[in-house]
């Protein structure tokens, strides 16, 4: 009897144990505990670790932005053109009309009555050693230089240019035949007569027939004349042997005067005046 009870108790205990195991398997192993090595996946087979879900890469259009209200742009002051500032103009040149040429240097004053001239450059000559004028009217030859100051010597020279006058082409300036005379002393004492500028007294440049043809060719080329016209022009001048032989003429282009003197302290100085004659 006792042995039978023991056997029944053993069978019952075994049945209870199996039921407990079956119940725990159905409920899982509970939450994973951090640091518990029994819950760490240690699989190393790459086939079993491969992700079987294909990654999706959907094309998602950007969200439409609400249209912003248009506002008038403020004026760009950086691009706005600056208001032009008035640039001071240089002082106009002096023009003598009827009163003659008058050059007032620091140490002397030169006056040429009867000339109508226009001065170039700074009209104030107190610190200048020279002055340039353009002739507007009057005659240079036969005029008089009136100089106030201590003058020791007055010299004159001139520059000439050769002109070719033709009925078809007008006036052609032969710059290649231009020349400059040497300095010539003028006689006087405070008043100096201008002479030697008339057509008979002006020196003609030393030029032969070849020089004349070359000068005519160069001047005609600058005027952009045709080769045929240049050839005809030089053929017409084949008998010309001098720069003052018709149809050529020598003209005074500018006259220069050099005045040497002494200042109040006895120091030597030299001033120059030039008058250009328009063609």
The total of structural domains in the chain comes to 1
Domain presence at residue 79: no
- Regarding beta strands 95-96 and 248-262, do their DSSP bridges make them parallel or antiparallel, or are they unpaired? unpaired
Q: Return the pLDDT at 168.
A: 84
Contact predicate 191/145, CB 8 Å: yes
Domain presence at residue 72: no
What three-state secondary structure class fits 177?
A: strand
Domain presence at residue 138: yes
Per-residue pLDDT of 225-272, as tens digits, reads 999 999 999 999 989 999 999 999 999 999 999 999 999 999 999 999
Domain presence at residue 118: yes
Q: Does the pLDDT of residue 113 top 90, yes or no?
A: yes
Q: Does the pLDDT of residue 55 top 60, yes or no?
A: no
- Give the pTM: 0.63
Contact predicate 257/183, CB 8 Å: no
Domain presence at residue 192: yes
DSSP code for 50: S
- Least confident stretch, 58-67, 76-85, 193-202, 228-237: 58-67
- What is the DSSP code string of 79-110? TSPPPPPPPPPPPPPPEESSS-EEEE-SS-EE
Domain presence at residue 84: no
**Domain of residue 213, residue span:** 95-276
Domain presence at residue 16: no
Per-residue pLDDT of 147-203, as tens digits, reads 999 999 999 999 999 999 988 889 999 999 999 999 999 999 999 999 999 988 999
Domain presence at residue 37: no
């Amino acid at each position: 009897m006792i042995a039978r009870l023991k056997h029944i108790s053993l069978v019952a205990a075994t049945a209870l144990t199996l039921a407990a195991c079956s119940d725990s398997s159905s409920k899982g192993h509970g939450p994973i505990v951090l640091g518990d090595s029994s819950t760490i996946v240690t699989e190393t087979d790459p086939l079993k670790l491969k992700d079987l879900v294909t990654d999706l890469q959907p094309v998602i259009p950007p969200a439409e932005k609400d249209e912003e209200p248009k506002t008038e742009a403020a004026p760009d002051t950086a691009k706005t053109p600056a208001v032009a500032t008035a640039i001071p103009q240089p002082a106009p040149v002096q023009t003598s009309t009827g009163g003659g040429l008058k050059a007032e240097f620091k140490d002397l004053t030169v006056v040429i009555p009867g000339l109508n001239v226009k001065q170039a450059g700074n009209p104030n000559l107190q610190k200048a050693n020279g002055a340039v004028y353009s002739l507007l009217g009057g005659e240079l030859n036969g005029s008089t230089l009136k100089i106030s100051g201590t003058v020791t010597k007055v010299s004159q020279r001139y520059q000439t240019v050769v002109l070719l006058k033709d009925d078809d082409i007008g006036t052609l300036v032969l710059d290649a035949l231009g020349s400059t005379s040497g300095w010539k002393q003028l006689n006087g004492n405070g008043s100096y007569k201008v002479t030697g500028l008339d057509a008979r007294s002006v020196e003609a440049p030393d030029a032969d027939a070849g020089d004349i043809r070359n000068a005519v060719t160069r001047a005609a080329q600058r005027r952009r004349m045709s080769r045929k016209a240049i050839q005809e022009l030089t053929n017409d001048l084949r008998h010309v042997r001098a720069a003052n032989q018709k149809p050529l003429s020598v003209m005074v282009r500018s006259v220069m005067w050099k005045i040497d003197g002494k200042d109040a302290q006895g120091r030597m100085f030299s001033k120059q005046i030039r008058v250009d004659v328009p063609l």
